[in-house]
Amino acid sequence: MELMIDSINAEEITNALEYYPIKGITSNPTIIKKEGKIDFFTHFKKIQELLEDKASLHIQTTQTTCDKIVEEAKYLTSRLGREVFIKIPVTKEGLKAIGILSSEHYHITATAIYSSIQGILALLAGAEYLALYYNRMENAGIDASAVIKEIKNAIVSNNSNAKILGASFKNTAQVVSAISSGAHSVTIPYSVLEGFLANPLIETAETNFIKDWQSLYSDETILDFN
């Protein structure tokens, strides 16, 4: 199980890495737009410095034809390193590019997956991660949990090492549903990540524990005991 953050904001990434067991950073043109017109390679090199090789980095191509996708993927990795995962939407052209790049041992994250057949084709083409858009699927009336289960079955039956990467989440319940349905990984917006532990019941329990301790030992802590 892997937890990733869907953000390229340096402050969000720094905080997420400090407090949560983050294993990856994902991005796409829409996420980049939220950050503004960044100095592209300078920004992503800064993110790599923050990651210190402790988490994977996933960057999406911006082209729509196979030749251009492959060209852009190779340029990206020439600047940022072959360890970067190249995100490619599973279109007809994208699928062809996934096959070419994976055969040359590039790391590929197939993205914009809305159906089981997209995921199956991407894993057969050699993608390592299969990014499925959970909330967008639900909004379109697609049973995202069922699609995850179907793709998971295909992974198992093909003895594939591909991992389902749940994405496009708006709340904690969707994240839990994706994981319980079989997603190997999830990538979360920072706002959703911060909501994981924002539960007044947790805060109340912690407060009561402290009150009970202080009723016996006042301001003493375990560190004060011999």
Handedness of CA 35, 37, 39, 45 (dihedral sign): positive
Residues 131, 58: Cα–Cα separation, whole Å: 11
Whether 53 has a pLDDT exceeding 90, the answer reads no
Contact by Cβ (8 Å): 106, 77: yes
Whether 80 has a pLDDT exceeding 90, the answer reads yes
Which tens digits make up the pLDDT trace of 114-150? 999 999 999 999 999 999 999 999 999 999 999 999 9
Contact by Cβ (8 Å): 27, 210: no
**pTM metric for this prediction:** 0.93
Residues 176, 163: Cα–Cα separation, whole Å: 17
Structure tokens at 225: 């005991």
Which tens digits make up the pLDDT trace of 104-114? 999 999 999 99
Residues 98, 177: Cα–Cα separation, whole Å: 28
| Active-site residue, selected from the candidate residues 68, 87, 149, 152 | 87
Contact by Cβ (8 Å): 122, 113: yes
Residues of the chain with pLDDT > 90: what percent? 98
Find the distance separating the first CA and the last CA of the chain, reported in whole Å: 40
Whether 223 has a pLDDT exceeding 90, the answer reads yes
Q: Which domains are seen in the chain, by residue range?
A: 2-224 (3.20.20.70)
Average pLDDT across the chain, whole number: 97
CA geometry: angle 112, 110, 142, nearest 5 deg: 35
Cβ neighbours for 74, distance < 8 A, ≥ 6 positions apart: 106
Is position 170 annotated as part of the catalytic site?
no
